[in-house]
Amino acid sequence: MPKLLALIRKKPDISDKQFKAYYEMNHAPLITSIFPMLHEYKRTYLVASNMLNGNYTLESEKLDIAYSVITELGFKTHKDLDEFMVIASKDEIVEMIRKDESNFLLSEKTVMYQLDQ
């Protein structure tokens, strides 16, 4: 199954809770309405911990983390991925998505990968 993976960073002036709520209640429905060919749209929210700093705790650490969520976009076929890319490249779609993103994430920090599985 073809997949895209996005590493996304929240705006610094909103809480993790606000970020997740906006993503789930506003942005995710927008994306699924624009891209009906998405077979999978999975979000994994990242919580920084002190585990690797010698404290061996999973308690949240207030760090300047690079990313807030890992988003996976899965497609049944390469044709679906191609259709996604055609729609995603339209100026009016880019504008609509960027406008919504400005409410909760830093678009310029997003990194996107195509997964080779």
Q: Determine the residue type at 21.
A: A
Q: Determine the residue type at 27.
A: H
Contact (Cβ atoms closer than 8 angstroms) between residue 71 and residue 5? yes
CATH, range 3-115: 3.30.70.100
pLDDT tens, residue order, the chain (117 aa): 999 999 999 999 999 999 999 999 999 999 999 999 999 999 999 987 655 556 655 555 555 678 999 999 999 999 999 999 999 999 999 999 999 999 999 999 999 999 987
Domain limits, the chain = 3-115
Contact (Cβ atoms closer than 8 angstroms) between residue 97 and residue 6? no
Structure tokens at 69: 């969520």
- Model's pTM, two decimal places? 0.86
